Amino acid sequence: MEKWRIPSCIACNDRYGKLERDLIGRLGLTLDAKNPASAGLAEKALRAINPDAATSEGDATARDARAKKILGEMYKGEALKEKNVVPGLGERWDRPLEEQLGISIPEESLPAMTEKIVRGITFREDGAFIESGQKIQSFLVNDEDVKDVKEMLDRAGKVFKREPGLVVRRARSEGGDLYEITFWNQLRMYATVATPKAAPALCPRQRRALRRARLNAWLQQRAARQGRPKAIARRRARKRARRKLTVG
């Protein structure tokens, strides 16, 4: 299968790479090992925190440190009741509460991965970057709470796949794009990309009024700084402007 290739600066590539490795290491411990879409991820995540699987002393130390960090951020039994459980990653094996385990997911990790995918799809399909004026928002919600969104994606969504781990649906509109991103057929994120509305064109009279307002604001600031009355500052500014016109 063709690998998606998206340009990125070195700093962003390093940041996303670090977040992705940490996130997969955590999610691998929560995914269903029997689901074909996530087959092997649990074993990979466990191996990453097993010092016995290390290839060197330094590697063993790093794995041991990560294992301690992961264990320190896990919750069991009653402690899970106070936590927000990621939709799709709750209890799926009918275990009693006292046997259930959960792991903390950094708040910025899933939104960052969602943003990376949204930017990648935009470049791959549209040959364009998402500019600073456009806003990406991500949402982690239950599917039953966004039925209208899913209906829109069913009607007009285009599907992009990097199976078995990733399926993306995108629906386009004048106001922006809507995304549904499914990870390993178990976890879904939704995202929107808002397109800024163009400022309405001004008529000549409105442009002149805007220029006068800006000039008046500048004169007030100048007068306040220099301690001069506004009228004196305005007259001097006009004289300088006339002089420049005469010289020109």
pLDDT-above-90 percentage for the chain: 36
In this predicted structure, what is the pLDDT of residue 69? 92
Span 63-103, pLDDT tens digits: 999 999 999 999 898 888 767 888 888 888 899 988 999 99
Distance between CA atoms of 52 and 204, rounded to whole angstroms? 76
Global confidence as pTM: 0.72
User: How is the chain split into domains, by residue range?
Assistant: 10-103, 109-194, 205-247
Span 164-220, pLDDT tens digits: 889 999 998 877 899 999 999 999 999 999 876 666 677 777 777 777 777 777 767
The identity of residue 227, as a single letter, is G
Distance between CA atoms of 186 and 208, rounded to whole angstroms? 58
Q: Please determine, for residue 17, whether its predicted confidence score (pLDDT) is greater than 90.
A: no
Instruction: State the average pLDDT for the chain.
Output: 84
The closest of 86, 104, 80, 92 to 26, measured between CA atoms, is 104
Alpha carbon 178 to its chain centroid, in Å, reads 13
How do beta strands 187-194 and 135-139 pair?
antiparallel
Q: Is the peptide bond before 196 cis (omega within 30 degrees of 0)?
A: no
Instruction: Provide CB contacts within 8 A for 10, sequence distance 6+.
Output: none
Of the CA atoms within 13 Å of residue 227, those in its CB half-sphere come to: 0
Under the banding of pLDDT at 50, 70 and 90, the label for residue 61 is very high
In this predicted structure, what is the pLDDT of residue 232? 66
